[in-house]
Chain A
């Protein structure tokens, strides 16, 4: 009998430390901020407004523009990044390449960068007058691009920055996936004389699919919560709100004008959207696994 009791409470004992901290330090503040979203909390004032905040959010042009921006950035950045990550993973996986561990270290490094250096270096690179990029363009006799002033190019700047920071991370994940495909399958294909290209499409890609999915999901969630890059690199959503993101929106309402109620409401709308999108993704990829 004791054995069964022990068996029953064991899992609960295992999850207890986490859930204790989780409930006290995360769930409780979440409930409080959820409550705030039904109030017009501003600074140290507060008053109940029911669903008004949510009604306002749904008609807030800036909020939806920020969502649109994020979706546009996402639709371009995630595929580009995964494609590059895949190329790099394949390249580092290539047994004929010497110094693979050095390359592996190098492409992962961007994840380690500190925010101060990140913003300074990227500001320098994308600078209108003397940035490296425009310098190169000039040498190619092309007109310089107004990276941060132009609404379209500002989005491109963000995409480039995110891609720089996260491609290596995803490349390492894909690399691990590649390395777990048994050589025996490739050898069998060689025996049958399958060409390199066919091997790639018929063996590598299908076996990599679950990991690809993982990377895609994490990247999409990450991009939907984009904050750092527009905050640091494009003056907080400029120009003309072309790089405004939902989390930036929330931050601005909460920390610049102290409208906690409205910011909380926006946060929950965003969370709901992210949750729905993630759920849809998982459903669609039921062929893969999570």
Chain B
């Protein structure tokens, strides 16, 4: 889209700046943001409070807004329901390994699509895009058959490795790498640099923000991944935390909400921390994936 040139802007007649209006618009902005904050944060606030209550207090009306002292009890009781910390460690391992691997692999692949020309490039890229549109439920049964055939059932790697066929990651990194100046790469090649070095020393540093963004999104997605781990992981000791919690909330049994929500708090913390850690890179990274050139 054409950017307004300075010349064009000179055509506009000067208008009086509204200084008083600024204060008003600031107030409106604050209100909007405050409402946004309350609406966005309320469920989390509810969660943190509920995790500290005992069951009879959680659903009482009018709802409680202040925490109570049951957090420790809830966690203790939760520990009796199953290996909660093991599932937490599993989740952490799966999400972290997945994130590191998928960011690296997506970067490798996206780089090739962004900065190289090779035969069948368009076809291959198109095949990646199309798979993004297929609902994942449909491949679960064939994938399960495959996993049992190669003996990976109940293994954490059965959750990690198939997920690495991450089309979104490739698409995302490719978009971000379109901006890397080709001259840079050419110069390094002339100097005799090995391709992989160019990739590591020149390309990656340019797209750190995008990698951070993808890291956050990948971690969140894998942490909340639910259906496939349910199918492929058998023992409680292999399960992920969100999966383990959801098994406790099934209809037909007595549900101890306080414990489960305490578990949910434990589950929410890592994603929260990951976001806090990476957020300064996140903003510019996601944008880079949206616009080419």
User: Are the C-beta atoms of B290 and A173 separated by less than 8 Å?
Assistant: yes
| Main secondary structure on B side of the interface with A | helix
User: Are the C-beta atoms of A15 and B39 separated by less than 8 Å?
Assistant: no
User: Are the C-beta atoms of B130 and A275 separated by less than 8 Å?
Assistant: yes
User: Are the C-beta atoms of B242 and A175 separated by less than 8 Å?
Assistant: no
**B291 (CB) vs chain A CBs: closest residue:** A210
- In chain A, positions 155-184 with a C-beta closer than 8 Å to chain B are 164, 168, 172-173, 175-177, 179-180
User: Are the C-beta atoms of A10 and B10 separated by less than 8 Å?
Assistant: no
- In chain A, positions 98-124 with a C-beta closer than 8 Å to chain B are 102-118, 120-122, 124
Give Cα A105–Cα B283 distance, bound, in whole angstroms.
Answer: 11
- Minimum Cβ distance to chain B for residue A189 (Å): 5
Does B105 have its Cβ within 8 Å of any Cβ on chain A? yes
| Chain B interface, number of residues (Cβ within 8 angstroms) | 97
**B279 (CB) vs chain A CBs: closest residue:** A105
Does A76 have its Cβ within 8 Å of any Cβ on chain B? no
Most chain B beta carbons < 10 A, residue from A8, A25, A117: A117
User: Are the C-beta atoms of A185 and B3 separated by less than 8 Å?
Assistant: yes
- In chain A, positions 79-110 with a C-beta closer than 8 Å to chain B are 87-88, 91-92, 94, 96-97, 102-110
Does B106 have its Cβ within 8 Å of any Cβ on chain A? yes
Give Cα A167–Cα B189 distance, bound, in whole angstroms.
Answer: 44
- A18: chain B residues within 8 A (beta carbon): 105-106, 108-109, 164-165, 170
User: Are the C-beta atoms of B242 and A116 separated by less than 8 Å?
Assistant: yes
User: Are the C-beta atoms of B133 and A274 separated by less than 8 Å?
Assistant: yes
Give Cα A214–Cα B290 distance, bound, in whole angstroms.
Answer: 6
- A118: chain B residues within 8 A (beta carbon): 43
- In chain B, positions 1-49 with a C-beta closer than 8 Å to chain A are 1-4, 6, 9-10, 12-15, 17-18, 21-22, 26, 29-30, 32-33, 36-37, 39-44, 46-47
Contact of B282 among A32, A122, A172 (CB under 8 A): A172
* Segment among A56-64, A65-73, A140-148, A260-268 that sits at the interface with chain B: A260-268
What 1/0 flags go to A242-258 for Cβ under 8 Å of B? 00001100110011000
Q: Please classify how large the interface on chain A is, using the bins under 10, 10 to 19, 20 to 34, 35 or more.
A: 35 or more
Give Cα A107–Cα B32 distance, bound, in whole angstroms.
Answer: 11
- In chain B, positions 82-117 with a C-beta closer than 8 Å to chain A are 105-106, 108-109, 111-113, 116-117
User: Are the C-beta atoms of A33 and B141 separated by less than 8 Å?
Assistant: yes
**B112 (CB) vs chain A CBs: closest residue:** A14
Does A21 have its Cβ within 8 Å of any Cβ on chain B? yes
- In chain B, positions 241-293 with a C-beta closer than 8 Å to chain A are 242, 245-246, 249, 257, 260-261, 264, 267-268, 271-272, 275-276, 279, 282-287, 289-293
Does A290 have its Cβ within 8 Å of any Cβ on chain B? yes
Given contacts A22-B165, A267-B134, 20 further A-B contacts (CB under 8 A): A14-B116, A25-B146, A25-B165, A30-B134, A96-B26, A97-B30, A108-B275, A110-B40, A116-B261, A117-B43, A117-B47, A121-B47, A173-B286, A185-B3, A189-B9, A194-B9, A210-B290, A227-B135, A263-B138, A274-B133
A-B contacts, 29 listed (Cβ < 8 Å)? A17-B109, A21-B165, A88-B33, A91-B32, A92-B33, A94-B26, A96-B26, A96-B29, A103-B33, A106-B40, A107-B36, A115-B224, A116-B264, A168-B36, A172-B286, A180-B287, A191-B9, A192-B9, A192-B10, A193-B14, A193-B15, A195-B15, A196-B18, A206-B1, A211-B291, A227-B135, A263-B137, A267-B134, A289-B292
Q: Could you list which residues of chain B lie within 8 angstroms of chain A, going by C-beta atoms?
A: 1-4, 6, 9-10, 12-15, 17-18, 21-22, 26, 29-30, 32-33, 36-37, 39-44, 46-47, 59, 61, 63, 105-106, 108-109, 111-113, 116-118, 121, 124, 127-128, 130-135, 137-139, 141-143, 145-146, 161-162, 164-165, 170, 195, 199, 220, 224, 226, 242, 245-246, 249, 257, 260-261, 264, 267-268, 271-272, 275-276, 279, 282-287, 289-293
Q: Could you list which residues of chain A lie within 8 angstroms of chain B, going by C-beta atoms?
A: 6, 8, 10-15, 17-19, 21-22, 25-30, 32-33, 36, 87-88, 91-92, 94, 96-97, 102-118, 120-122, 124, 130, 164, 168, 172-173, 175-177, 179-180, 185, 188-189, 191-196, 198, 202-203, 206-207, 209-211, 213-215, 221, 225, 227, 246-247, 250-251, 254-255, 260, 263-264, 267-268, 270-271, 274-275, 278, 287-290
